[in-house]
Structure 1
């Protein structure tokens, strides 16, 4: 329940931010009634696209059975982890320009007269957040095999309610709960969750390999543990499994798990490290 609540909370706040920026700017424009209708039409269309994607993913998961279904779920877990990495990186580098870019795009759309461009802008923004939510929730659902569906749904509903409260608090402004702090904390939690999803995908991948006739070196690489920290924290206990589900922790990790997790965090560091600003060229006569 906690993971679904966090994902819906984080993605809903980001979607509300985009809608709020566009709505606030449009409210200041003259003769804005048509533009506001196009904005809300885009929101509804974006939710429809995200719902369609969710239906497609669930249908594909139900249609694929046996090993094919396992490979599909493994792929979705890896996609969700990589999508978290891409999303966090994009927001980390471009978040401060989000408002300006949205307003510029909205102004360009309005200048064209019909407002269709504004509808498409809102639709794509909402569909992106909704699609990410669908992929993340699907991955989490298959990371937690045998998870309580009712608790999963309740977590999502609570996450959306919390998002509404959080957005109102963020808009009110506070040194303790600012947009900068919100993105910093949620990015860190998302990256940890991305690692957990990646490890869950590796577990499914390793499970499929164990049933194949492969060279012994692969069984050693994906199956044999490098160490055992169960005495300190067993990932089979309630506390251990919770931490494993949130961070990717394994008490007895294989060499493949250690290497993959190391590559993941190396990629995070390379992706999020400050980028040098381009210096203007000095022209000489």
Structure 2
């Protein structure tokens, strides 16, 4: 569970930092030429603060709503959040696959329009949306993960969140230095695979919750690889939490794996084809 939390905080923070970094770099570059004033920076960091505020309010609403619900409905909500988190992870990968190539250019075009018209609230809105989006997604991811786990301590969760932020800032700092070892494009491809594996893990957990609730049928395991890699052991447990691996899957789990990866493969192929056609038309 800690590994899941660290990875999600790391990946979501990197994406938010990327947008903030693009905005900040553009503003610094334009300020050096005298094209923009110091107040533009205040709009940027005001937007960052507003985005964090929106994410915190959303977290409070989710937790507060869960507290007032009857236990049965709370369990249903937790199961729904597990599937929602898995779906959002897939959606995020598809969105980045489609927009990563033009993200910097699109943001800078928006900033150029703001500079020409003097509408610096555009900077505020761009920063606020970026932070609020990533923050709200993180809330859903974390709630879905915690809903799918048992016996997770608050101290362990807070420690994993802190570690995720620390690793994210360190990663961003290294990549801003222009490291040739892991350029942004390669980073997003690697993290894309890791995110899809994590989405499979959450989807598998959701299916198990439906089986436990009697909504889906229970079947005997098709095979048992516990002697080779036990999914409840130290190593197997980490792999299971990050990929959805099960040492003794039943028909429901196997069908879930096949369905999940079939959908992901088809969706990625569709988005990649659309993006390639758009690039060809633009060229």
Specify if TM > 0.5.
yes
Residue number in structure 2 paired with 1:7: 8
1:200 aligns with 2:196: no
TM-score, structure 1 normalization: 0.89
Is the contact made by 2:10 and 2:168 (CA closer than 8 Å) also made in structure 1?
yes
Is the contact made by 2:78 and 2:148 (CA closer than 8 Å) also made in structure 1?
no
Residue number in structure 1 paired with 2:152: 147
**How many angstroms apart in 2 are the aligned matches of 1:133 and 1:223?**
33
Alpha-carbon offset, residue 33 of structure 1: 1.3
TM-score, structure 2 normalization: 0.90
Unpaired runs of 5+ residues, structure 2, are none
Give the paired residue count.
Answer: 271
Is the contact made by 2:223 and 2:248 (CA closer than 8 Å) also made in structure 1?
yes
Alignment of 1:112-151 (within 5 A): 112-151=117-156
Q: Note the alpha carbon deviations across 1:89-114, whole angstroms, 9 max, x for none.
A: 11122101110011112222333324
Unpaired runs of 5+ residues, structure 1, are 211-217, 281-285
Residue number in structure 1 paired with 2:222: 226
Residue number in structure 2 paired with 1:251: 247
Is the contact made by 1:169 and 1:177 (CA closer than 8 Å) also made in structure 2?
no
The alignment yields a C-alpha RMSD, in angstroms, of 1.7
- Aligned partner of residue 232 in structure 1, secondary structure: coil
Alpha-carbon offset, residue 157 of structure 1: 0.7
**How many angstroms apart in 2 are the aligned matches of 1:256 and 1:190?**
22
Alignment of 1:55-74 (within 5 A): 55-74=60-79
**How many angstroms apart in 1 are the aligned matches of 2:254 and 2:161?**
32
Alpha-carbon offset, residue 66 of structure 1: 2.1
Residue number in structure 1 paired with 2:26: 25
1:43 aligns with 2:48: yes
**How many angstroms apart in 1 are the aligned matches of 2:64 and 2:114?**
36
Is the contact made by 1:35 and 1:110 (CA closer than 8 Å) also made in structure 2?
no
